[in-house]
Amino acid sequence: MPITRSQQKEKTRRAIIQAALNQLSADKSFASISLREVAREADIAPASFYRHFKDMEELGLTLVDECGLALRQLMRKARKRFAEGGSVINTSVETFMEFTEQNPNIFRLLFHERSGTAFALRSAVGREIQYFIAELADYLDDYNSDKSMAYTQAEAMVAVVFNAGAESLDAKPSARKAISERAMIQLRFIASGAHEAAKKKGNLDQ
């Protein structure tokens, strides 16, 4: 069956998105990628880019949306693993590190643009991370009736795993293992502190 025009358009659009991700590296953020580089990687003429995106900023925002979807899929995968038993902390770190290893450039985009110079991209990344924190807080809320405390714990946990993910991107396998183990210890400290804080708050409320 011949491909339709709309299918071809979507195929080219996906090629542009993937081309932009492929350009990212340890030394190259989205802000340093040119339209011509993306077009060349996607095997299209530069002028054809504008049939799919208004400009590079719109492409960047689309990439952030893709990253947000990947994070939500990651959280669903982690929650499914939680239900199967085992350590929640170990599972969280292992799942996140798998994600960064399998999707390094998605994480590079989040990490670089989280503090990048483009306000629109920085804000979009911030929103996606907040959604990720909120979903983790929702899970933690099942074990902690204090919503604000669950959110604070989730923020701290996400900070730890994001830092570990960033550090592990270009690390050797042996170093990645050490980074994962350190993150697990840090998360246990956070969980222990949250548990103690909840107990103290419970005593004060009585």
22: domain CATH number?
A: 1.10.10.60
Domain containing residue 106: CATH number: 1.10.357.10
Pair 108, 28 in one domain: no
Question: Does residue 92 form part of some domain?
Answer: yes
Query: Are residues 88 and 36 both part of a single domain?
Result: no
pTM over 0.75: yes
Contacts of residue 163, defined as CB under 8 A and 6 or more positions apart, other chains included, come to 183
**Domain range spanning residue 40?**
1-53
Residue recorded with tokens 């270009």: 170
Same domain for 2 and 86?
A: no
Q: What is the pLDDT of residue 202?
A: 58
- Same domain? For 192 and 129 the reply is yes
Distance in angstroms (rounded) separating the CA atoms of residues 206 and 200 = 10
Note whether 164 and 183 are within 8 A (CB): yes
Domain count, the chain: 2
Residue 145 amino acid letter: S
84 and 7 assigned to the same domain? no
pLDDT tens figures, 96-130: 999 899 889 988 898 888 887 889 999 999 999 99
The pLDDT confidence band at residue 165, using thresholds 50, 70 and 90, is very high
Q: Are residues 174 and 81 in the same domain?
A: yes
Q: Do 155 and 104 share a domain, yes or no?
A: yes
User: Tell me: the pLDDT tens digits for 15-42?
Assistant: 999 999 999 988 888 989 999 999 999 9
Asked if residues 116 and 122 have their Cβ atoms less than 8 Å apart, the reply is yes
